[in-house]
Structure 1
Amino acid sequence: MFRRRPPLPPFPPGGLLVGGAARDWLRGAPPKDYDWAVPDPAAAARAMADALGGSAFPLDEERGYWRVHLPGEAHHDFVPLPADVNDDLLRRDFTVNALALNENRKILDPAGGQADLKARRLRMVSAANLRADPLRAWRAARLELTLGFRLEVETERVVRQVAADLSDGTLRMPAPERIRDELQALLAHPDAAHGLKRMEDLGLLALTLPELREGIGLQQGGYHHLDVFAHGLEALHQLIARLPDAALPLRWAALLHDVGKPRSHTVNPSTGRTHFHGHDKLGAALTTQMLTRLKLPGEDIKRIARLVETHMVGLPAGEKEARRFVHRRRNLLPDLLWIMLADREAARGPSSSEAGRHAYAAAMGRVLEALEEQPAPPRPLLTGADVMALLDISPGPRVGEIMRALGEAVALGEVLDGAEARAFVVKLGKNLSPIR
């Protein structure tokens, strides 16, 4: 049963609401974005912007594509009205997206999308349409998850065939930016872990994140009850369950935190124990490689890789160690704690115990208390110029080393004022070996 249909904005003269926007309205869900087919996109966009207080600008002037941003609302895209609307709709990916609505709420449905909406079924308009744009295979996995629908049997078969044909080069891979957008839309869903598992089932994960698949079947033992691949999915699930509004970089870090394990896997021949020495650093390098390939923003990649690299750091045993932990990793907090917690909660192997979980939670509590007490770095008591004057040294790495040591001493409460800071620097300078 669909919900009551939400109100719609005024229709542009002669315009149609098309595609996903029409689909969502028919389902009783407010459209996330509005797609309009209109006789004059530029005029319709400017009129809506003037009437509703937004801004209109061209997306592609040559093709006549325009967009309107309204304050606090979804954006509205305007494209030229096709000469044959039904023919245009029949070139779309899925029947539930091959819908249009006019201002009188009359529905154009040449592919039978309304019946599929009622049946919660995701059915292709045609196999040729899916093959014409193979990105639609990824969209199938994403829409199945986000709409809560199920792929129709023949559509699923074609999606699997598209994946196979992409794998052997019969079809050309879509642009990485387009795959990234579909993947991130899936990753933003509350049940993203299930969506990624479905991508693996459909043959799409091997085309997207092959490094992640290397953990399939690789057992870990000890604290872990799942193989490396399933553990990453479970860590993502645990993160979202505890932090439903987790940002995408944090979700990526939870998913990829152990991606370095398969390539760092060794077995001690004497004890038979499994080891993954250095998997954190290797995982950070692989994360950078994978997300660069998908064209994520550079700053996001750096942060995700840093979280992966740091997720194995030991938690502090006391208050002073907690302050040091915060000082050294302040720019990663509290995200790092969320990743560590998700990792821990995704591990329920024979070595795991309630006592261990309690101790882990207590250590995290100490870090959070230290972060609350000192949410920002303390004000520097000396400058680099002060350090150079005190020690009669030139600019260089030594100055930075001393400044970092002084900053940590101030953060820990070991140095309280300018006089103590100068004494600390002089003493440290005497103990440092000369630069040769």
Structure 2
Amino acid sequence: MFRRRPPLPDFPPGGLLVGGAARDWLRGRDAKDFDWAVAAPEHAARQRADALGGAVFPLDTERGYWRVVAPDGIQHDFVPLPPDVDTDLQRRDFTVNALALTATGTVIDPTGGQRDLRGRRLRMVSAANLRADPLRAWRAARFEVTLGFRMDAATEAAVQQVAHDLAAGTLPAPAWERVRDEMQSLLGHPDAARGVLRLEALGLLALTVPELREGLGLTQGGFHHLDVFHHGIEALHQLLARQPEAPLPLRWATLLHDVGKPRTLARDPDTGRTSFHGHDKVGAALTAQILTRLKLPQGDVAHASALVGAHMLPLPAGEREAKRFVHRRRALLPDLLSVMLADREAARGPSSSPASRHAYARAMNRVLEALEEQPTAPAPLLDGQAIMTLLNLSPGPRVGEAVRALAEARALGEVATPDDARTFLHNWAGRSGH
């Protein structure tokens, strides 16, 4: 059932390959990171760094943990060889990770991990091990997605109990940075939409992105056939079906694009129809809060939030409007189009039809053609100082308005030379009363 096993890497003298790298080798997968248990971690790490031409540094000097990062990005971690390997492996999270390999390919497997690998089963070593580090609950959900395994009943029940106790405050919550790393790994998989549903079923989504759950059971009608919660997950699925390599900020924005709807819900007292006016702006603010809480890089937070805030923009009806759309939203393109298309394709309610989807696709193509025609903003024809001199302006907001007006005219093809720019600005100043 597994692929042909790749060659084993060079083992440090007397060392063991442990954990995920051993698991991946047994499954016939190339490992990206290697964990080594050796008698002298620093010495072994420095030798490996010299052999690979990589960088070496300590992870934990007190415990003797060292890391080597090779030029190709692959990591090698070195930790002290435990006095009792079996006992050490039995402290791990899941049986498929409680494995070690010797240089000759002998497998040390005190918990039956090889049997679980063959059965594609994710089984905890013990409930106590999960509770010793509650982050392992998120890791269980992530492994189901990334390994394609399924938790056995006892493990699923233990994970749900961990989630319950975390919510009750009887277990210490893991650091947000660690939760973020698990979420990013899960969301980075092509089957991430199923992973989000598993987080919900296990009680972990309420501990991670409770705002997303506010859409459960909130029906929409019109173009939509799903409630707000499941529409967001279906949009993520639609995105990844088209762009399996989509960057993480785009994945977050697609999942969260309607997160503002529950807080903007309004019902017409006469017709009972629902509306969500302003949900894009509320959703942008919520997205920023959620991703900041999860400790994502600020650039990713800003980009995802901006995509959510802009996803309701009407698409242009003509070529000129398409050029303006590209000019004004260039920093968000083409990601914004990806969110908008995923949103539309995830909505198959009574108002949706092949004709409406075709019209939407035509409008989107106009934007793509305009973006292809002008992939970068054209160089400015006049700088701010020249504009101030021309219009007799002092530094202030008015200069910025003039710069932006001229830049848009340049992008639309209305001006092409400095003389065109001067004529345009004189006319612009006259129209605006200055």
TM superposition score category, shorter chain reference: over 0.9
| Map 1:118-267 → 2, pairs under 5 A | 118-267=118-267
| Map 1:235-384 → 2, pairs under 5 A | 235-384=235-384
Q: More displaced, 79-88 or 206-215? A: 79-88
Structure 2 match to 1:52 = 52
CA deviation map 1:80-103 (0-9, x unaligned): 111221111111111111111111
Q: More displaced, 58-67 or 357-366? A: 58-67
Per the alignment, in what secondary structure is the counterpart of residue 163 of structure 2? helix
| Map 1:381-420 → 2, pairs under 5 A | 381-420=381-420
Query: CA–CA distance in 2 between the matches of 1:163 and 1:8?
Result: 38
Query: CA–CA distance in 2 between the matches of 1:207 and 1:51?
Result: 44
Structure 2 match to 1:21 = 21
Per the alignment, in what secondary structure is the counterpart of residue 307 of structure 1? helix
Q: More displaced, 333-342 or 112-121? A: 112-121
Unaligned runs of 5+ in 2: none
CA deviation map 1:134-185 (0-9, x unaligned): 0000001111111111111111111111100001111111100101100110
Question: What letter matches 2:245 in structure 1?
Answer: D
1:219 to 1:419, Cα distance in 2 relative to 1, 3 A: same
Per the alignment, in what secondary structure is the counterpart of residue 77 of structure 2? strand
Query: CA–CA distance in 2 between the matches of 1:18 and 1:402?
Result: 63
Displacement of 1:260 in angstroms is 0.3
Query: CA–CA distance in 2 between the matches of 1:197 and 1:433?
Result: 56
Displacement of 1:60 in angstroms is 2.3
Q: More displaced, 245-254 or 101-110? A: 101-110
Q: More displaced, 250-259 or 32-41? A: 32-41
Displacement of 1:381 in angstroms is 0.5
Displacement of 1:279 in angstroms is 0.2
| Map 1:25-36 → 2, pairs under 5 A | 25-36=25-36
Displacement of 1:73 in angstroms is 4.9
Query: CA–CA distance in 2 between the matches of 1:110 and 1:209?
Result: 37
Query: CA–CA distance in 2 between the matches of 1:115 and 1:261?
Result: 46
Structure 2 match to 1:79 = 79
Identity of aligned residues (%): 70
Question: What letter matches 1:353 in structure 2?
Answer: S
Question: What letter matches 2:265 in structure 1?
Answer: H
Query: CA–CA distance in 2 between the matches of 1:309 and 1:182?
Result: 26
Displacement of 1:4 in angstroms is 1.2
Per the alignment, in what secondary structure is the counterpart of residue 6 of structure 2? coil
Structure 2 match to 1:10 = 10
Per the alignment, in what secondary structure is the counterpart of residue 390 of structure 1? helix
Per the alignment, in what secondary structure is the counterpart of residue 57 of structure 1? strand
Query: CA–CA distance in 2 between the matches of 1:290 and 1:353?
Result: 34
Query: CA–CA distance in 2 between the matches of 1:420 and 1:49?
Result: 60
Displacement of 1:433 in angstroms is 4.6
Question: What letter matches 1:260 in structure 2?
Answer: G
CA deviation map 1:47-105 (0-9, x unaligned): 11222332222222232211112222521111111122111111111111111111111
| Map 1:91-102 → 2, pairs under 5 A | 91-102=91-102
Question: What letter matches 2:201 in structure 1?
Answer: D
Query: CA–CA distance in 2 between the matches of 1:150 and 1:365?
Result: 41
CA deviation map 1:284-325 (0-9, x unaligned): 000011111110000000000000000000000000000000
Query: CA–CA distance in 1 between the matches of 2:426 and 2:387?
Result: 9
Per the alignment, in what secondary structure is the counterpart of residue 219 of structure 2? coil
Question: What letter matches 1:77 in structure 2?
Answer: D
Query: CA–CA distance in 2 between the matches of 1:118 and 1:391?
Result: 76
* TM superposition score normalised by structure 1: 0.98
Q: More displaced, 45-54 or 192-201? A: 45-54
CA deviation map 1:192-228 (0-9, x unaligned): 0001101100000000000000000000000000000
Question: What letter matches 1:219 in structure 2?
Answer: T
CA deviation map 1:216-256 (0-9, x unaligned): 00000000000000000000000000011101011001100
Per the alignment, in what secondary structure is the counterpart of residue 57 of structure 2? strand
Question: What letter matches 1:341 in structure 2?
Answer: L
Question: What letter matches 2:271 in structure 1?
Answer: T
Query: CA–CA distance in 2 between the matches of 1:426 and 1:8?
Result: 72
Displacement of 1:117 in angstroms is 1.0
Per the alignment, in what secondary structure is the counterpart of residue 137 of structure 1? helix
Query: CA–CA distance in 2 between the matches of 1:99 and 1:3?
Result: 18
Displacement of 1:365 in angstroms is 0.7
Question: What letter matches 2:74 in structure 1?
Answer: A
Question: What letter matches 2:202 in structure 1?
Answer: L
Displacement of 1:119 in angstroms is 1.2
Question: What letter matches 1:247 in structure 2?
Answer: P
Per the alignment, in what secondary structure is the counterpart of residue 17 of structure 1? strand
Aligned length: 434
Structure 1 match to 2:106 = 106
Displacement of 1:270 in angstroms is 2.5
Displacement of 1:430 in angstroms is 2.9
Displacement of 1:426 in angstroms is 1.9
Question: What letter matches 2:282 in structure 1?
Answer: L
Per the alignment, in what secondary structure is the counterpart of residue 56 of structure 2? strand
